[in-house]
Amino acid sequence: MTRTCRKADSSPTTSRAPRTLPPELLSAGARRLGVMALLSAFASAGMGVGSRLLGSRLGLPPPSEIVLFAEIAAITASLGMFALARRTEQDAAELLDRGLVYEVGMGFVIAVSYHCWPAPPGQIPRGWSPVAVWLVAFALLVPATRGKSALATVATALMDPLGLTVSFAFGRPVPPALVVAGMFLPTAIAAVAAIVGSRVVSELFQEAGRARELGSYRLVSLLGHGGMGEVWRAEHRMLARDAAIKLVRAGADASGRELMARFEREAKATAALRSPHTVQLYDFGRSDDGAFYYVMELLEGFTLEEIVRRFGPLPAGRVVHLLRQVCHSLAEAHAAGLVHRDIKPGNIFVARYGGDPDFVKVLDFGLVKALTASARDLTQAGLLAGTPAYMPPEMALGRAVDGRTDLYALGAVGYTLLTGLPVFDRTTALETIHDHASTQPMPLSKRVATPVPPDLERVILDCLAKEPSERPGSARALDARLAAVVLTEPWTREMAERWWSRNGAAAIPAEPPARDAEDGADGRHVTTPAAAAG
C-alpha cells in the first residue's frame, strides 16, 4: 500500500545537502542514465572499430587482448545498465545508486583501453583522458546527492592511474614520475570540476524540490512505490514529527480519473474517522501538477500479512486481541455509513504505539463505499474490485454491501491468523472468488494441529457465513463475542512486550507501496469480471 516537502527558507537546515532527490528528478535522472548508457555502448563499439582502422593505417600493432576485454566489458555493462533503466518497476533512487557503480566501472575499462592501446615507441598519452571527459559528463547529467556524487567522482578519477598501472603489467614502459603527474593533471582538474558542478546541480535539485513541496513537509526517504504512486517518509518543517506521504499520479483517461477518485475517497473517509485504531490522516490535497497526495501518521511495525509470513500462525489469545481492535475501527466506520470493502492482513498494521505493544491500525480505505450505495454503484462495466482471498460472497456476486461485508473479510483474516493459511487455497483468483461465493470453508480444527478454542472457531465460521444475516450483526456484536471467548492462555501485555523485544528491530514502516490492480489468488487486489464469480 507513495511527494515533496520542504524546510522553510529561514531554517538552518536549508543549506544542507538533500538526503534524497525530488521524485520527478529521480525519474528524469534514471531516464538520462539509460540514454547515456546506450550512447556509451555505441560509442565504445564505434571507437574500437575506428581506432583499429586508424591504427592499421599508421602501421601500429593490433591491440592486446586486455583492450578487447575492456571494450567488450564497456559495451556489455552499458547495455546492461540501459536494460535495467528500461524496467518500469525499477526504483529510480536504487537505479541511480547502481549507476554510480556503473560510472566507476566504466572509468576503469575506459582507462585500460586508453592506456593499453598501442602507441608509437616513446610516445606518452597527453591531453584530456577519456576518463576525465566521462566523469564530468556523468556528474552533470546523472543526478545524485552531494556525498554520493563526490565519492563516485573521486573513485572514477582514480581509475585513470589504475588503468595505467594495468598497462605496465602488460609491458608498457614506465614513464618518469613527473611525466605521470602531468598525464593525470587534466583528470584531477576534471574531478574537481565534476564535484563542483555536481554540487551546483544538487543545489538546483534541492531548490526545485522546495519549489514543489506539499504543505509543511519535506521528503526524507522513499518507503515504497508502485505503477502510479509512491509512499515517502516525510518530516514536518516546524514540528518534531515524521509522517508518511502517499502521492498518486494518474492519466487523464477514465481509468486515471477513477484511480484519483479512489484515493480522494480514501483520504476523505480516513479524515472523517477518529478511532485510535484507524490510521490518522493529517492533510491531503493536490500538487501544482495535479497529483493527489495525503499525509498520514508514520507507524513502525508489521502488517498482519508480514507477521504470518515471517512468524507463522498466531496464538488464539493474540488473534482475539488483534481482531477486537479492528472491530473498534470498523464499528466507527460503519456507524458513519462507510464500508471498508478491503479488510485483509495487508491492510491491518500492528505497531508499538504510544508505549502500547500490539496496537492495531486499519489502513487503506481506498475501496470505501457509503452504505447507501446501490449494487450498481459497487461495480462499473461489469467489474468488481477487492482481494480474492478475503472477498465476501456479496461482493463476489456484485450484490449490495453493508457492515457485515467487512465482518466476513475480518473472519477470513482471523482464519489466516490462526492457521497460517487462506480460507480457500486455490490457484487462480477466479477459483478463489468462486469458493467464497459458494463453498463452505473447512473448520479450522481440521487444518491445524494446535487446538483452536471451540467458541473462537464458531465465531470465525459465523463471520464466514455466505448469507450476511447469519453473521454477527455488527462490529460491536462481533467484538462482544470475541470478548466472551474462553481462552486457556489470554494474550497479556507482558507477552506482547516480550514478542516486540525479540522482533521489533525488524519492524517496517506502515503503508505498503501504492500499486496497480493485479490478478492473483494470494491476497492481492484484483479487478475482475463479477459474472465470473458465480
3-state secondary structure 291-357: CEEEEEECCEEEEHHHHHHHHCCCCHHHHHHHHHHHHHHHHHHHHCCEECCCCCHHHEEEEEECCEE
Residues β-bridged to residue 233: 221, 244
Looking at per-residue pLDDT, the higher value among 325 and 450 belongs to 325
Cβ neighbours of residue 24 closer than 8 Å, sequence gap 6 or more? 212
pLDDT of 123 over the 70 cut:
no
pLDDT of 1 over the 70 cut:
no
User: Which CATH class name applies to 217-297?
Assistant: alpha beta
pLDDT of 368 over the 80 cut:
no
Distance CA 302, CA 312 (A): 13
pLDDT tens figures, 331-359: 999 998 889 989 999 999 999 998 899 99
Q: What is the separation, in whole angstroms, between the first and last Cα of the chain?
A: 29
**Does 342 participate in catalysis according to the annotation?**
yes
C-alpha torsion sign, points 129, 130, 135, 140: positive
Distance CA 118, CA 366 (A): 65
Q: Where are the domains of the chain?
A: 23-211, 217-297, 300-533
Residues β-bridged to residue 218: 235
- pLDDT tier at 401, thresholds 50, 70, 90: very high
Looking at per-residue pLDDT, the higher value among 526 and 162 belongs to 162
| DSSP string of 140-186, one letter each residue | HHS---HHHHHHHHHHHHHHHHHHHHHHHHTTPPPPPHHHHHHHHHH
pLDDT of 234 over the 50 cut:
yes
pLDDT of 195 over the 70 cut:
yes
pLDDT for res 213: 66
Looking at per-residue pLDDT, the higher value among 144 and 489 belongs to 489
pLDDT for res 186: 86
Which residue in 342, 358, 364, 435 is the catalytic one?
A: 342
Cell numbers linked to 39: 550512447
pLDDT for res 255: 65
| 117-121, 234-238, 318-322: range with lowest mean pLDDT | 117-121
Give the 3-state secondary structure percentages of the chain, helix then strand then coil, rounded to 5.
Answer: 55, 15, 35
CATH number corresponding to 300-533: 1.10.510.10
C-alpha torsion sign, points 233, 235, 239, 240: positive
pLDDT for res 503: 92
Mean pLDDT score, 3-15? 36
Most confident of 157-171, 265-279, 415-429: 415-429
Q: What is the three-class DSSP state of 223?
A: strand
Nearest Cα neighbor of 365 from 412, 404, 397, 332 is 332
Distance CA 121, CA 133 (A): 26
pLDDT of 265 over the 80 cut:
no
pLDDT for res 254: 62
pLDDT of 97 over the 90 cut:
no
CB 357 within 8 A of CB 497: yes
Nearest Cα neighbor of 223 from 238, 209, 234 is 234
Distance CA 487, CA 320 (A): 9
pLDDT tens figures, 405-451: 999 999 999 999 999 999 998 989 999 999 999 999 999 999 988 88
Output DSSP code: residue 81: H
pLDDT for res 391: 94
Nearest Cα neighbor of 360 from 425, 408, 414 is 414
Average pLDDT over the chain reads: 80
pLDDT for res 17: 41
List Cα–Cα distances, 426 to 261, 421, 439, 522, in angstroms.
Answer: 32, 11, 12, 9
CB 389 within 8 A of CB 342: no
pLDDT of 51 over the 80 cut:
no
